[in-house]
Structure 1
Amino acid sequence: MSRYFPASVALLFTAIALAGCAKNPTPTAVAADPRYLLPAEPSVSVGVVDFRGKAKTGEAVSVIGRVGGGVKPWIEGRAAFLLVDTGAPLPCADDKCGPDCPHCAAEIAASTTVVKFVDEQGKTIAVDSRQLLGIKEEETVVVQGIANRDADGNVALMASGIFIKR
């Protein structure tokens, strides 16, 4: 019996260690709240880069993009996420510059905007966007909403509807 004891103890410690190293579970995509789903793709939409460059506060717009952008796109516990232009490169992970390449990070940042689904009072809805909208990272979506540019020139989309291109 002593011959098998060290192996079983090692196996037990390995299982405990692996369980302890598991990431916190993230909300999984579920059936979206139909109030926020658009029945059809808007006929006119702009890319994120155009939206960032031309949007005026209060302007109604539809923006097409990809959920994500190589960084964690989710704002935990809120119906908000990062949307990157469909023409933006995925973050590089090749041998030339690696995943933390400042050039790639700057290019992606210039192609990214924040999308916030808001309630009647203009507050971000306190439900994770993956649960509320049923979206996943890297999905292409078209989001309808109102542009909001702050004093520093940052622009966000205060969203009211989403079409998920699947």
Structure 2
Amino acid sequence: MKPNIILGLLAATLVSCSEDKASNTTEVKTTSPELAAVFVDTIADEASPIHLARTTVQPGDLIVLKGQVMGALEPFVEGRAAFILGDREKLTPCNEMGDGDQCPTPWDACCDTKEDFRVGTATIQVVGDDKRVLKEGLEGVGGLEKLSKILVKGRVAEQSGPGNLVVNATAIQIVE
């Protein structure tokens, strides 16, 4: 199942700005205690930007990343506790580019280069005791939305490699 989620996220990243109006509405979600426990008020450890962390981490390493929910037209995986985290030092939402762009989906990183996208994104997932991604969506949980600025603490997943950084989150802090 994990490879399917990663492939789904990678496929979603190939989508660029869309002419369709996308909804970024806040929805109240009921979540399992297991998922709710991941959301914390403070992560005290020092956070790294994704592009720097990916050069030194190995599967099993404990890391803290800082970033923003962005990097695809749909950065959240439907029905799964997984999303794409974008590195603000490498990616900029289109609505912050300063060129008057009125892109309806500024979180999709369509204004950034493929190389910046490659080094500036990570897949964040919440896994259960069975090491499988929880079967519930994350969008709206604890206030987590597209473009939310967050800190994520977790372990680098075994399926991580040079081309994809996957983190099993143990704590998520929304900072803005």
TM-score, with structure 2 as normaliser: 0.67
Q: Which runs of 5+ in 1 are unaligned?
A: 1-20
SS in 2 for 1:130: coil
Check if 1:115 corresponds to 2:114: no
Q: 1:67 aligns with which of 60, 69, 72?
A: 69
- Encode CA deviations 1:98-143: one digit per residue, 9 max, x unaligned: 9856x62332232001000110111001111114443011111001
- Encode CA deviations 1:60-119: one digit per residue, 9 max, x unaligned: 111111111253211111110000112123255859xx9856x62332232001000110
Residue 166 (structure 2) aligns with: 156
Q: Distance in 2 between matches of 1:39 and 1:114?
A: 22
TM-score, with structure 1 as normaliser: 0.70
Q: Distance in 2 between matches of 1:69 and 1:76?
A: 15
CA-based RMSD of the aligned residues comes to 3.2
Q: Which runs of 5+ in 2 are unaligned?
A: 1-19, 104-108
Shift of the 155–87 alpha-carbon distance from structure 1 to 2, 3 Å rule, reads: same
What is the identity percentage for the equivalent residue pairs of Structure 1 and Structure 2? 20
Larger radius of gyration between Structure 1 and Structure 2 = 1
Q: 2:133 aligns with which of 124, 130, 150?
A: 124
Q: Which amino acid aligns with 1:119?
A: G
- Indicate the structure with greater strand content: 1
Check if 1:140 corresponds to 2:149: yes
Question: How many correspondences in the alignment?
Answer: 143
- Indicate the structure with greater helix content: 1
Q: 2:54 aligns with which of 52, 55, 75?
A: 52
- Work out whether residues 26 and 145 of structure 2, in 8 Å CA contact, stay in contact via their aligned partners in 1: no
Q: Distance in 2 between matches of 1:43 and 1:77?
A: 30
SS in 1 for 2:54: helix
